[in-house]
Amino acid sequence: MELSKNFTPAAAEGKWYQHWMDKGYFRSKPDNRPPFTIVIPPPNVTGVLHMGHTLNETVQDILVRRARMSGYNTCWVPGSDHASIATEAKVVNMLKTEKGIEKSQLTREEFLKYAFEWKDKYGGIIYSQIKKLGCSCDWDRVTFTMDDHYYQAVIKVFTDLYSKGLIYRGARMINWDPKAKTALSDEEVQYKDINGKLYHVQYAITDSENNLTGESITIATQRPETIMGDTAICVNPDDERYKHLAGHYAIVPLVNRRVPIIFDTYVDKEFGTGALKVTPAHDINDYNLGLKHNLEIVDTLNDDGTLSTAAGVFIGEDRFKARKKVIAALDEQGLLVKEQEYTTRLGYSERNPDTVVEPRISTQWFVKMAELAKPALDAVVEGNVKIHPGDRFLATYKYWMENVKDWCISRQLWWGQQIPAFYAPDGTFEVAQNVDAAIAQFKAKGATYTAADLRQDEDCLDTWFSSWLWPMEVFNGISQPDNEEINYYYPTNVLVTGQDIIFFWVARMIMAGQEYRNEKPFSDVYFTGMVRDKQGRKMSKQLGNSPDLLELIERFGADAVRFGIMISSPAGNDLLFDEAALEQGSKFNNKIWNALKLVKMWEANTTGDANTAVDHFAIRWFESRLNEVKTQIADQFTDFKLSEALKALYSLIWDDFCSWYLEWVKPGFEQPCDAGIYAKTVYFFEELMQLLHPFMPFLTEEVYQLLKERPAGDDLIIRQYGAPGTIDAKMLAEGQLAKEVITSIRDSRNKHQIKPKEEIVLHIDTLQEAAFKQIEGMLSKQVNAKAINYTKEPVAGCITLVVQKDKFYLGTETVLDQGAQKDQLEKDLAYLQGFLVSVEKKLSNEKFVQNAKPEAVEIERNKKKDAEAKIAAITESLKSL
């Protein structure tokens, strides 16, 4: 069969993915093999694949494919999460722009119907993209966090934790997203440095009798629009400036509220004016002060970020517009003393990045974390769950777990699991899996209600409250504990994810696993870095520096994309994405393709018996080299050093196999290929494709199938790895010597400007003639020598060079520049002499000889001997010039 000039990825990708699917190779059912399980970090159902996913999925596919070829029953579960805030925002937006419907016009049921329609329409896009990448997920297992069984599992866990006292409802200061009108957890707030202003505002003072003293106190605030919510002024008790104000009051401007002056060491004397206005409803620290000093709480904001009636002024104005108006009003009244530039950090909503989060007091549902965190912390600290790379993230994990705060899990949204709390008209409530159970619970307490009397909590649960069950519930491990699958697949083997969700997700999954199965959810966590552009900037839609993945696959092929992303991705480090790496990948494709073409050319013209053992230097050498790399790669996989494993393979294939091995066994022009050598070469090629398969599945399968006729079912994807054979160190050293000799001679030819086509005569002065005799054929071909002679004397009129301890003389037609030759040799000599001096210095140092390990001393002695021998060789050569 005629092979195309270059490898064409698109055809191979479609063909083999379909073949693998048809054969059911991705499907997994429990059997008696050991399982290797990975659950995909569920992407957002409305999302499309970006570079971060690509890196993630590629890593997972590499691990899964390698495990599949190593005797494991591999199961990679795909799926997505419902992403409540993001999806609800998209659906709301779509309803408004496409249908002109406001969310407020719809009932919950109607809205959810639209949301599910949206999900059905867009939810599958990401799966087809993951397939394009070649990922070998078990597509019969696609799971969605709003599937019926999953929904039930979440409700079950909620009611269970509630009954254990681990979930409670309470009023707390929470992070409020005024755009989405929902609470956020601490992890959903992102802080940014902002240039703001500090406004110094004067408050009049009254004494305890409510008489103006004529004095005033100046506070500094970043948020003048909240002063209408002030319920105290706080100063440090040690601050001499304010000591006399004990028992006095201040008058809040604009609203003329009389508030006490309180004293607390919390206030920093140095900051601002040393006087703090306290607004318990709108600042977490003020809130805590308020609790301590029993202050009134005046909430001056509505849920959409506008001023409430409680503010008294500028009612209905947006908080930022109100700020400007308050400043103007204060200025007008002469109360604004000064404005000061000030850098501060503001919290923004993760899901609405342009929206400043508002601290707000509200009644929400919380998970008590301390108790759940303990076993989850131990699991990691004791090494039961191993984090890669190294302990870099261990410290972060530990810190968070030891200082964990309660988790706010209620969201004022509809798209998600509705909180199963049922309220009676009198305000009492029961948490139960459904309304009937709630009625029964009420009844047990002596209250009789019908379903119509009860009202279910309007809010839904945080998406992470469903995601934390992912490794269990994808196998129905919560909804049907102890089913065959959960017992077989759980705990899973590896979780591959971005380091940015260590708290959102990883920590909480470990908590849930420990709580519900008393077992870790996975043995290893592999954190990938962030994908950045080549200038090191994060990829983002705003910058437009995020490439279109499908377009990249179209241009370079999936294998090249996988190669490019893995080769530049050392474990845990950020990845600087550069198309040059993908180009390198497609060149690698092509290199392998051409090697295949070369080998196929030999196939048609072989001679001899393929079954006769062949004793060829190149074969013996490559066998050892292959085994060496196999062993190395096995270790690298154990350490999750995938990038290094790929580099090792790249070099093994390109340099050792293509540049050396194939050249060494290549038959002469129009000569037949020895059948034994041919068979061995095909075998090596297969082994290489097998090792590379997890990284570049399509190309390797294609080449494997083309190398020879295969019976049905002989597919590379399921071919099992054999144990690495023996590594012959002597063989490796001889191969190394051969390569070095060839390279040095070629270098000499180059330096002396001998045309590639010109043949030389090679004279070798060596003590190990036998070693060179066995490689004469390949040696003369590689340096273009017409004859090889052995000598014990310098050969006049030749280029002289020394490799290790052997001397080589190149006889040539070209007239040589003796001066240049001499210069080169003298340079080498000078270097060696300097080196010798340093070694001798070391050896003459008594302390070194006494203290160093005997091996180290021995090594130095050998270095000395080697250097002396080389110096002798070069000196001799110089004499002959």
Partner RNA sequence: GGGAGUUUAGCUCAGCUGGUUCAGAGCAUCUGCCUUACAAGCAGAGGGUCGAUGGUUCGAAUCCGUCAACUCCCA
**Contact residues: RNA, CB under 7 A:** 5-6, 186-187, 191, 345, 392, 395-396, 399-400, 500, 503, 534, 536, 567-568, 570, 573-574, 576, 580, 584, 586-587, 589-591, 594-595, 597-598, 601, 644, 647, 651, 654-655, 658-659, 662-663, 669-670, 742-743, 746-747, 750-751, 756, 831-832, 835, 839, 842, 845, 847-848, 851-853, 856, 859-860, 863, 867, 870
CB of 595 to RNA, least distance (A): 4
Residue (98 or 670) nearer to RNA, CB? 670
40 vs 78: CA distance, rounded Å: 5
CB 249 within 8 A of CB 206: yes
> What is the residue whose two structure tokens read 């929400």?
364
Residue (169 or 532) nearer to RNA, CB? 532
Residues 6+ apart with CB under 8 A from 117: none
Fill in the amino acid letter for 876: E
Residue (227 or 575) nearer to RNA, CB? 575
CB of 188 to RNA, least distance (A): 10
CB of 730 to RNA, least distance (A): 14
CB 589 within 8 A of CB 618: no
SS3 track for 4-70: CCCCCHHHHHHHHHHHHHHCCCCCCCCCCCCEEEEECCCCECCCCCCHHHHHHHHHHHHHHHHHHCC
Residue 390: both structure tokens together = 């190294």
Residue (152 or 814) nearer to RNA, CB? 814
CB 700 within 8 A of CB 693: yes
Residue (713 or 756) nearer to RNA, CB? 756
168 vs 431: CA distance, rounded Å: 10
CB of 548 to RNA, least distance (A): 20
CB of 127 to RNA, least distance (A): 28
Residue 144 carries which DSSP code?
A: E
717 vs 751: CA distance, rounded Å: 47
- CB neighbours (10 Å) of residue 347? 19
Instruction: Tell me what percent of the chain is helix, strand and coil, each rounded to the nearest 5.
Output: 50, 20, 35
The annotation status of 541 as a binding-site residue, yes or no, is: yes
Fill in the amino acid letter for 526: Y
CB of 725 to RNA, least distance (A): 22
CB of 847 to RNA, least distance (A): 3
Residues 6+ apart with CB under 8 A from 199: 220, 221, 222, 224, 327, 330, 336, 338, 339, 340
Residue (434 or 545) nearer to RNA, CB? 545
CB of 414 to RNA, least distance (A): 27
Nearest to 486 by CA among 37, 156, 144, 154: 37
Residue 720: both structure tokens together = 């099992």
Residue (299 or 574) nearer to RNA, CB? 574
Residue (201 or 653) nearer to RNA, CB? 653
CB 168 within 8 A of CB 365: yes
Q: How many residues does the chain have?
A: 881
Nearest to 568 by CA among 588, 556, 585: 585
CB of 33 to RNA, least distance (A): 32
279 vs 286: CA distance, rounded Å: 6
Residue (428 or 833) nearer to RNA, CB? 833
Residue (46 or 467) nearer to RNA, CB? 467
> What is the residue whose two structure tokens read 């009492």?
428
- Please provide residue 598's backbone torsions phi and psi, each rounded to the nearest 5 degrees: -60, -50
Distances in Å between the Cα of 461 and the Cα atoms of 373, 410, 420, 717 are: 20, 5, 10, 41
Residue (6 or 128) nearer to RNA, CB? 6
CB of 546 to RNA, least distance (A): 16
Instruction: Write the DSSP assignment of 773-819 as a string of letters.
Output: HTTHHHHHHHHTEEEEEE-SS--TTSEEEEETTEEEEEE-SSPP-HH
413 vs 178: CA distance, rounded Å: 13
759 vs 813: CA distance, rounded Å: 8
CB of 648 to RNA, least distance (A): 9
Beta-bridge partner residues of 449: none
Residue (19 or 746) nearer to RNA, CB? 746
Residue 50: both structure tokens together = 């970006």
Residue (363 or 851) nearer to RNA, CB? 851
| Binding annotation | 541
| Binding annotation for ATP | 541
